[in-house]
A = this chain, B = another copy of it.
Amino acid sequence: MKILVTGATGFIGRYVINELKNYDCEIVATARRTENLPEHLIDNGISYIPCDISEDRTDFFNYLSKPDILIHLAWDGLPNYKGLFHYETNLPVHYNFLKKMIQGGLRHLVVAGTCFEYGMQSGCLSETLSTEPANPYGLAKDVLRKFLEQLACEHPFVFQWVRLFYMYGEGQSKTSLLSQLDKAIDNGDEVFNMSGGEQIRDYLPVEKVARIIVKISLQNKINGIVNCCSGKPVTIRKLVEDHVRNTGEKINLNLGYYPYPDYEPFAFWGDNSKLRTVS
């Protein structure tokens, strides 16, 4: 069984690669450049193939060594959710790449979706809900999925859309909440400025997200969209307080310093009943 991972050098990708090592499979990964890979990515068990998916080549599938499964995690430009490039540039590039892979012979495609596909909907969100993306990133991912669903009517393939919610872990974007909290603690800051913290989200550690992605891909019991989430609503305030407690350090939270973001609903989390059928 040969598994190709795109976005393998990204935050989630590295954990997915690590998780795949627990299974009896051949791991192939793409990277824009394969010379000068960071130390922690170099691993004898993994073949890196240099690949820019925005190139207009027709032989992607053969070039990427004919994988049995593609776990497609690549996506440029995050965490800027509002740039039009998400649908103007990324969307056609990713659709074209994935279509070429399918046309080349790929039979099983796993793609990372996002809870931003749900848009400004509140409460417990299930996969059967209509999506209503409200920013260009969520829109581009939502549309990519719909394009692929239509493509699957013409060229059938196993299609699993793993809709990611929030996550945290080592290596995360420096602009993320917990990365900034860690930095403040490391700096010995007395105060951490944050929003009111009352908003409700759904968080998983990235190691768990990687386990879920790999399990879904290899078990192949679930089709279509599956929420990758805890199913447990948590306030941002509690998330932060727990994180501080786990570090054993002290820092005062300056709640209400930042306004609540306008591109997310105040309270939402994922329905994980479909996910529980595999995990």
Contacts and interface: CB of A to CB of B under 8 A. Distances in A.
A56 interface: no
A147 interface: yes
A143 to B, nearest CB: 5
B150 A87 contact: yes
A52 to B, nearest CB: 20
A256 interface: no
Contact of A130 (B88, B92, B132, B143): B132
A147 B138 CA distance: 12
A218 interface: no
A132 B128 CA distance: 12
A136 B146 CA distance: 9
Nearest to A86: B150
Interface string A128-157: 001111011001000100110011001000
The A contact surface, by secondary structure, is helix
A84 interface: yes
A279 to B, nearest CB: 28
A87 B92 CA distance: 10
Interface string A147-191: 100110010000000000000000000000000000000000000
A149 to B, nearest CB: 9
Contacts of A151: 84
A154 B146 CA distance: 25
Nearest to A154: B84
B87 A147 contact: yes
B150 A146 contact: no
Interface string A51-91: 00000000000000000000000000000000010011000
A153 to B, nearest CB: 8
Contacts of A154: 84
Contact of A150 (B130, B132, B139): B139
Nearest to A131: B130
A143 B87 CA distance: 10
A116 B154 CA distance: 19
Interface string A94-124: 0100000000000000000000000000000
A118 to B, nearest CB: 11
A96 to B, nearest CB: 9
Given A87-B150, A143-B146, 9 more contacts: A84-B151, A88-B95, A130-B132, A133-B146, A135-B150, A136-B150, A139-B146, A139-B150, A143-B143
The 3 closest A-B pairs by CB, nearest first: A130-B130, A143-B143, A136-B150
